[in-house]
Structure 1
Amino acid sequence: MMKTLENTTQQFESTFVSPMRSYTLAALDYYEKLMGAQIDAARAYSDMTIAQTRTWLDVKDADGFKKALESQQRVASDFMERVKGDSEKVTSISQSFAQKSQQAVEENTQKAADAVKQ
C-alpha cells in the first residue's frame, strides 16, 4: 500500500508538479527580461524626449532654430535605431522563451511516457 502511494506521489510530481514548476520559472524569467527591456526602452525614449525638448527651449534665433532642426533629425534617426534594437531584443527574448517552453514540453512528455510504462 505504501509503495503504491509512493509511486503515485512520484508520478504526480513528475507528471504535473515538476513540469508546472519548470514552466513557471521559465515564464517568470521571460517576464522579468521583458519588463526590464521595456523599462530600459521607456527610460531611453524619455531621455531622448527631454533632451530634445531642452534643445527646442534654447532656441532664441534663426541659428538656434536651424541647430534644433538638425538635432531633431539626429534624434529621429537615433530613435528609429533604438526602436529597431528594442524590437530585436524583445523578439530574441520571446524566441528564447518559446524554445525553452517547447523543450520542457518535449522532456515532460517523455517523462510522462516513461512513467506510464512503469
Structure 2
Amino acid sequence: MSNATLDQTTEQFESLFFAPARTYATLTLDYTEKLMAAQFEAAKAYSDVGLSQARAALDIKDAEGLRSYVEGQQKVAQDISERLKDDAEKVAALNQEFVQKSQKLAEDNLKAASKSTAKAAK
C-alpha cells in the first residue's frame, strides 16, 4: 500500500468515523453538562425551600405563628409547583435541542459519507 493510498484511507476514516464520533461525543458531553447543571440548580432550590420551611416550622411558638405558617404553605406550594413546571420545560428544551443537533449531525455525516463514497468511486 503506497503512502498516498494510506493517507487517503486515513483521511476517509477520519472524515467518516473519527471526526463524527468526536463531534457526537462533544455534543453528548455538552448536553450532559447542561442537564446536570439544571438538576443541581433544581436540587439546591428544592433543598433551600425544604430547609427554610423546616426552620419556619421550628419558629412556631404560638397559635398565631402556626396560623401564619399554615397560610404561608399555600404560597410555598404554589412556588414549588411553578418551579417544577419551569424545570420540566427547561429539561424538555434541552432534550429537544439535543435531538435537533443530533439529527443535524447525522444528516451532515450522511452527506459527507455520500460525497466521500462518490469521490472514492471515481
Q: State TM-score, norm by structure 2.
A: 0.95
Identical-pair percentage: 48
SS of equivalent residue, structure 1 residue 60: coil
The residue that corresponds to 2:90 in the other structure is 89
Structure 1 unaligned segments of length 5 or more: list them: none
RMSD of aligned C-alpha atoms?
A: 0.6
Distance in 2 of aligned mates of 1:50 and 1:19: 46
Distance in 2 of aligned mates of 1:21 and 1:100: 14
Distance in 1 of aligned mates of 2:6 and 2:26: 28
Q: CA deviation at 1:48?
A: 0.3
Moved over 6 A (4+): none
The residue that corresponds to 1:55 in the other structure is 56
Distance in 1 of aligned mates of 2:58 and 2:74: 16
Q: Is the 8 A contact 1:52 1:71 kept in 2?
A: no
Q: State TM-score, norm by structure 1.
A: 0.98
Alignment pair present for 1:112 and 2:113 = yes
Q: Is the 8 A contact 1:59 1:68 kept in 2?
A: yes
Distance in 1 of aligned mates of 2:39 and 2:71: 28
Deviation per residue, 1:56-95 (Å, 9 max, x gap)? 1111111111100011111110000000000000111111
The residue that corresponds to 1:31 in the other structure is 32
Q: In the comparison of the two structures, how many residue pairs are matched?
A: 118
Q: CA deviation at 1:52?
A: 0.7
